[in-house]
Structure 1
Amino acid sequence: MTNESQVSAEPTWPVDPNLQTETRVAWYYYVGNLTQQQIADRLGTSRVRINRLLAACRESGVVQVSINSNLSNCVALEQTLAERYGLRGAVVVPTPEDEQRLREAIGVGAGNYLNEVIAPGNTVALGWGRTLVNTWRAMRARTDHALSVVSMLGGLAHCPRLNTFEITYGFAERLGAECHYLAAPIYASSREERDLFLAHETTRYTLDKARGADVAVLTAGDLDESLVVKYALTEKNVGTLKDAGAVGDVLGHFIDADGNLVDHELNKRTVALKPDDLAAAGNVVLVAGGTSKATVTRAALVGGYIDVLVTDEAGAEKLTQDYA
């Protein structure tokens, strides 16, 4: 969030029609990641005019104002998070007033960060979560076919909306990358069946590739609304996980408040990289926000699994204040 071209969604200056247009163009370009032609098509004007409006924004200070005021707290929180949890870095985005847009806002922050760190020839390993959809949608399209995208965990045979396969495919399509799925269920029916899946040549190849990824991108799920809880677990599972001290999951593995794997049978049936395996990746990026996820996010951080956190302002404040 230190980019001088970022703008705020909620300007504090008096709004007139011209300034309103300039602000909208700046938002679409610098935060929405649209091209000048896409903005021109959306607003029914020419690309040349959009280019002039962007120049006017820079000259008038529209773009600069948000950096000096509205985002200053985000920058301070990034530094505090990095120091407190020993991170390589952090990205903090303003929390939107509309809670329904939280994942979108965090996805923009994560997408912009990944645009800068994913290099030609990299392997990108992926977890599972709705915020990751917004992440790849916010990324620049590429045609670097030397890139590889690989899933770090199995999927579901039945899922009404979103599966690990869609996440992997979405990233691969956006990056112009080759795609590697983990063709197995996220939870086997027994530990013995899990071991058979892990011993299979294709599963072993995929997980080895994910383990050595240059960049790993994942979310953390709480025990209330995560996709794992919603689509893969029963109420009984959730109850026994809470009894075991679980606060949520990382890569389908359930951890306690200190980031340790809890003693639960689900952790013995998970077909995925273990959180400890992330240590072999070059850069592990956790994309998670909101105050409701602060406990499991902190657990992932203190567990030492994460290099970079992408979150929102309210979530970051909870992580720095409640867990001082």
Structure 2
Amino acid sequence: MEDAETRTTAPEPGHVAFGPAFQIDPEEQLATRAAWLYFVSGLTQAQIGKKLGLNRTRVNRLLAQARDQGLVQINITGRLASCVALEEQLKKQYGLDEATVVPTPPSQELIPQVIATAAGAALAERLKDGMSVGVGWGRTLRLSIQSVPRRALNQLSVVSLLGGLTRGSAMNPHETASHLADLVGAQCYYVAAPALTDTESTRNVLMSQPMLREVFDKGEKVDLAFLSVGELSHNCTMTRVGLVTRSEVDDLQRAGAVGDIAAHWIDVEGRLVNHPLNSRVVALNPGKLRDIPCVVIASGGKTKSAALRGVLKGGMCDVLITDEQTAAAILAMESK
């Protein structure tokens, strides 16, 4: 079943009619969910059967139905009613231009991959000749860019929106920006400085340098920004790459931080928290995101719902790509 004609990548982003078209056939919805779990999440038919409460024969028939009805082509074209409803609620609640909600896989470890598949398709669709694209960092973004097809675009530039790591890492902002630039034949602009300096004064000296000022000026003027959101925990990406210590995590939590956007720590309302780390960051200030025409945020997982809610409340997102459980958790915060 996994030949070239049946491999899937992501649901094609686009506008969904909300009304009569919202009434999705339950059988189609079940077939779509089974197809997503099989082709994108990589579950076996037995695992899908256990998750959906079906026997293996029934799962096999649903997958066949998904192919026969055209739900599985290059993309999964069927829409889940539950995901569509969450998309519409997110757009209404936060004034988003677009929201894409994908089914949550059974393992939290698979969430970055399924979101990245959808995010890569969303980014590829928006890339045009003559654009400038600002890029953040993180595992989800790295995986997303792996899903962007290689094609040559004219006069496209890619700008890294934050400084780099002092040691090699697949999640290094420089690597993320350069990979995207290579895929589309773009000119790439890096921030030739660490993402976090030792003191505020060092940061101020670096930010005053013409070379860095030029890159950040370009970052503020990009047509599209592609970012992810980080959680705040003792095992978050920031601690794993050595940017933040465990004691600093505790301090940030006491200051009200729930996560980061562009390496800046924010609270659940999207405000920068009063903490020394925020004065040492070499990155685009999140407040500048509000002036960028299109900001795409791709992130999910139960540990990131508070940070995502902060980004949405702070008006720093135009297009959100997340998973079903995270979307529901974000909206539940509003009801409280």
TM-score calculated relative to the size of structure 1: 0.81
- Is the counterpart of residue 262 in structure 1 residue 273 in structure 2? yes
Alignment partner of 1:238 is 2:260: no
Gaps of 5+ in 2: 1-10, 17-30, 39-53
Aligned counterpart for 1:9 among listed residues 36, 43, 61: 36
The question of whether the paired residues in 2 share the 8 Å contact of 1:145 and 1:178 is answered with no
Deviations 1:223-246 (Å, cap 9, x if unpaired)?
124322322011121111111111
Percent of paired sites with the same residue:
35
Residue deviations 1:159-218, cap 9 Å, x none? 444211111111112222111111100111111111111111111111111111100011
Rounded Cα–Cα distance in structure 2 between residues aligned with 1:200 and 1:308 = 33
Quote the offset at 1:270 in angstroms: 0.6
For 2:59 and 2:162, the matched residues in 1 are separated by 49
One-letter identity of the residue aligned with 1:230: R
User: Given the alignment, which residue of 273, 298, 304 partners 1:293?
Assistant: 304
Contact map agreement 1:212 1:282 (CA 8 A) in 2:
no
Q: Distance in 2 between matches of 1:127 and 1:312?
A: 20
Is the contact made by 2:267 and 2:273 (CA closer than 8 Å) also made in structure 1?
yes
Q: Which residue of 1 aligns with 2:232?
A: 223
- CA distance 1:229–1:27, change in 2 (3 Å): farther
Cα gap change, 1:174 to 1:27, in 2 (>3 Å): farther
3-state DSSP of counterpart to 1:285: strand
Residue 282 to residue 18, structure 1, CA distance change in 2 (3 Å): closer
User: What is residue 19 of structure 1 aligned with on the other side?
Assistant: 64
Separation in structure 1 between the aligned mates of residue 87 and residue 306 of structure 2, nearest angstrom: 18
Deviations 1:65-98 (Å, cap 9, x if unpaired)? Answer: x43xxx1211111110010112111111111223
Alignment of 1:103 with 2:130, yes or no, is no
**Structure 2: how far apart are the matches of 1:177 and 1:27?**
32
| Correspondence 1:170 to 2:179 | yes
SS of structure 2 residue aligned to 1:322? helix
Of 267, 288, 310 in structure 1, the residue corresponding to residue 321 of structure 2 is 310
Larger mean CA deviation between 301-310 and 94-103 belongs to: 94-103
Alignment partner, residue 19 of structure 2: none
In 1, are the aligned partners of 2:270 and 2:313 still within 8 Å (CA)?
A: yes
* Secondary structure at 2:329 match in 1: helix
Shift of 1:291: 1.5
Q: Given the superposition, is the C-alpha separation of residues 140 and 161 from structure 1 closer, same or farther in structure 2, using an over 3 Å criterion? A: closer
CA RMSD of aligned residues (A): 2.5
Matched, 1:127 2:171: no
**Structure 1 residues 160 and 119: alpha-carbon distance in aligned structure 2, compared to 1, 3 A threshold:** closer
SS in 1 for 2:270: coil
CA contact (8 A) 1:87 1:306 kept: yes
Distance 2:73 2:107 in 1: 18
Letter in 2 for 1:205: E
1:10, distance to aligned residue in structure 2 (A):
4.1
4+ residue stretches of structure 1 with deviation over 6 A?
none
Q: 1:292 to 1:17 in 2, by over 3 A?
A: closer
Structure 1 portions without partners, runs of 5+? 32-62
Q: How does 1:55-94 map to 2 (within 5 A)?
A: 66-67=78-79, 71-94=80-103
Distance of aligned partners of 1:172 and 1:121 in 2 relative to their CA distance in 1, 3 Å threshold: same
Is the contact between residue 93 and residue 311 of structure 1 (CA under 8 Å) also seen in structure 2?
Answer: yes
Q: Could you tell me how far apart the structure 2 residues matched to 1:155 and 1:257 are?
A: 26
1:277 to 2:288 alignment: yes
Query: What's 2:28 paired with?
Result: none
Alignment counterpart, residue 182 of structure 1, candidates 180, 185, 191: 191
